[in-house]
A and B are shown apart, each in its own frame.
Chain A
Amino acid sequence: MSFIKICSPFDEETISSLKAGDRVLITGVIYTARDAAHKRMYDAIQLGEDLPFNLKGQVIYYVGPTPAKPGQIIGSVGPTTSERMDKYTPALLEQGLKGMIGKGYRSKEVVNSIQKNKSLYLAAIGGAGALIARTVKTVELIAYEDLGTEAIRKITVVNFPAVVINDSYGNDWYEEGAKNFNSMEQ
């Protein structure tokens, strides 16, 4: 299995070079946010308020980690289902967000917005939270502390494994992967 090493935040060259189905190892800064944090950021955008971090070029990871036990910096940290963030996503992409990591399908509106805003949606392996924790090197809680596991954390990862699902050209790996497999079988 071959991997393409990329850095986060994502630059234009990285985004345009990647296609649906590419396996990547991400190194750099990403931000954790899931349902409740998305709702707050979305509401802030509607009200014209400042966001807790500048979204330009950044990558959001849909995750609510388990608490770190003594000696750990973070607990298990696998992806949650992305579709629950669909309602809020186009507004964040319009603000300059360039990447999202989660698992599962995105809505048509989100897929179109990913293409329009030249960004990427990637999937990490759902249920591999213990394995993924090993790629997390630093953790800093930066906003919405009252949300507990759903607070926004700025984390640094090294060689975080993911697969490009929706690329900036409108391709969708969930459609292609199953289709390719089925045609190979026939």
Chain B
Amino acid sequence: MRIVNYEDIVEKVSVACQEVNFELGSDVYDSLKKSSETERSANGKYVLEQLIENADIAKEERIPMCQDTGVAVFIVELGQDCHIEGGSLYTAINEGVKRGYKEGYLRHSIIENPLTRTKSEAYNSPAVIHIELVPGDRLVMHLSAKGGGSENMSTLKMLKPSDGLKGVKDFILETVRIAGPNACPPLVVGIGIGGNFERCAYLAKKSLFRPIGHRNIVTEISFLEVELITEINQLGIGPQGMGGSTTALDVKIEMEACHIASLPVAINLNCHASRHKSIIV
């Protein structure tokens, strides 16, 4: 049994919330650089160069790369032999988010009540927290600072089994086409196939935590990811929707078993910043 201290979690989460907003991940940065060299439209190239310069400024001045500093979303791998001392894991994470967002001059974007639109009393919290119980004693928290623009253009559909792979691909391409400039392309497209209604949404979200360029370990799924990157980039939407060959930086798919009657598909879009970071305690 390993003991982890509550305050350690709060502090590590607080630092990570700031870092993830100030410094673009090297996977995303490299992908933008590469795309700015291969982009075939002058408008698209200009946008990509501006995004790289923006990332450089944010890193140097330690300011958020985007004014939408996001909802803090966590996927936590909690070892069943890991014990947290001094308070609950949920409270520790939320305390860390409050502290990190406040001290880092990040934006408070959370409202308590979606209908009355009253602001949450706690700075940019609650966070969205998913906990997966795993063997061993590790505690790894994967954080994403998820922006509202791309989240708003995400979709979920319960397809018919007879729709098959073609139906799935059509739905993905249609989602990206409709999102157009709204979701801040070039995108990272996260796709969940299978599970059930809520599980496929979770799978789509989870896929976005995989670094850019990392393929699904199942060969057939990795081929489908590559195929979709090509097809999405043929839509011509381009960086910021102004035309071009870079509409998606990457496509991620996670797949799971499902009911004989169902073919659930969820598509969670992420903007070009694709802010994610892993915290090991």
Q: Is residue B80 within 8 Å, beta carbon to beta carbon, of the partner chain?
A: no
B50 touches A80 (CB 8 A): no
Q: Is residue A127 within 8 Å, beta carbon to beta carbon, of the partner chain?
A: yes
Q: Is residue B14 within 8 Å, beta carbon to beta carbon, of the partner chain?
A: no
Which chain B residues (169-228) contact chain A, with CB distance < 8 Å? Answer: 180-182, 184
List of B residues within 8 angstroms of A57 by Cβ: none
User: Contact check: which of B41, B67, B241 meets A76 at CB < 8 Å?
Assistant: B67
User: Contact check: which of B40, B105, B244 meets A68 at CB < 8 Å?
Assistant: B105
Q: Is residue B271 within 8 Å, beta carbon to beta carbon, of the partner chain?
A: yes
Q: Is residue A53 within 8 Å, beta carbon to beta carbon, of the partner chain?
A: no
Given A131-B53, A178-B241, verify A148-B63 contact (CB < 8 Å). Answer: no
Q: Is residue B119 within 8 Å, beta carbon to beta carbon, of the partner chain?
A: yes
B238 touches A177 (CB 8 A): yes
B65 touches A127 (CB 8 A): yes
List of B residues within 8 angstroms of A67 by Cβ: 105-107
Q: Is residue B237 within 8 Å, beta carbon to beta carbon, of the partner chain?
A: yes
Q: How far is the CA of A155 from the CA of B182 in the complex (A)?
A: 24
Which chain B residues (230-280) contact chain A, with CB distance < 8 Å? Answer: 235-238, 240-245, 271-273
User: Contact check: which of A72, A104, A131 meets B182 at CB < 8 Å?
Assistant: A104
B67 touches A63 (CB 8 A): yes
User: Contact check: which of A129, A149, A180 meets B66 at CB < 8 Å?
Assistant: A129
User: Contact check: which of A63, A69, A130, A185 meets B58 at CB < 8 Å?
Assistant: A130
Determine the residue in chain A with the shortest Cβ distance to B55: A130
B117 touches A125 (CB 8 A): no
Q: Is residue A138 within 8 Å, beta carbon to beta carbon, of the partner chain?
A: no
Q: Is residue A19 within 8 Å, beta carbon to beta carbon, of the partner chain?
A: no
A177 touches B271 (CB 8 A): no
Q: How far is the CA of A69 from the CA of B21 in the complex (A)?
A: 14
Q: How far is the CA of A125 from the CA of B51 in the complex (A)?
A: 8
Interface 1/0 per residue, B35-74 and A, CB below 8 Å: 0000011111011001101110110010111111100000
Q: How far is the CA of A174 from the CA of B235 in the complex (A)?
A: 13
Task: Indicate the size class of the contact surface on chain A.
Answer: 35 or more
Determine the residue in chain B with the shortest Cβ distance to A181: B243
Q: How far is the CA of A68 from the CA of B41 in the complex (A)?
A: 35
Interface 1/0 per residue, A102-117 and B, CB below 8 Å: 0111000000000000
A177 touches B243 (CB 8 A): yes
Q: How far is the CA of A180 from the CA of B235 in the complex (A)?
A: 12
Q: How far is the CA of A64 from the CA of B51 in the complex (A)?
A: 19
A125 touches B182 (CB 8 A): no
B57 touches A131 (CB 8 A): yes
A65 touches B181 (CB 8 A): no
Q: How far is the CA of A134 from the CA of B61 in the complex (A)?
A: 11
B271 touches A174 (CB 8 A): no
Q: Is residue B79 within 8 Å, beta carbon to beta carbon, of the partner chain?
A: no
Interface 1/0 per residue, B6-49 and A, CB below 8 Å: 00000000000000000000000000000000001111101100
Given A66-B67, A78-B67, verify A128-B244 contact (CB < 8 Å). Answer: no
Given A78-B66, A129-B64, verify A177-B107 contact (CB < 8 Å). Answer: no
Q: Is residue A173 within 8 Å, beta carbon to beta carbon, of the partner chain?
A: yes
Interface 1/0 per residue, A45-74 and B, CB below 8 Å: 000000000000000000111111100100
B240 touches A181 (CB 8 A): no
List of B residues within 8 angstroms of A134 by Cβ: 57
B50 touches A128 (CB 8 A): yes
A149 touches B107 (CB 8 A): yes
Q: Is residue A18 within 8 Å, beta carbon to beta carbon, of the partner chain?
A: no
Which chain A residues (1-47) contact chain B, with CB distance < 8 Å? Answer: 1, 36
Determine the residue in chain A with the shortest Cβ distance to B149: A81
7 A-B pairs with CB atoms under 8 Å apart are A66-B69, A76-B63, A76-B65, A127-B65, A127-B271, A177-B243, A178-B242
* 19 further interface pairs, Cβ-Cβ under 8 Å (given A127-B51, A127-B54, A181-B44): A1-B42, A66-B106, A75-B63, A78-B68, A81-B148, A81-B152, A104-B149, A125-B54, A126-B181, A129-B54, A129-B64, A130-B58, A131-B53, A134-B57, A149-B107, A173-B242, A177-B243, A181-B40, A181-B244
A residues lining the B interface (CB < 8 Å): 1, 36, 63-69, 72, 75-78, 80-81, 83, 103-105, 123, 125-131, 133-134, 148-149, 161, 163, 173-174, 176-182, 184-185
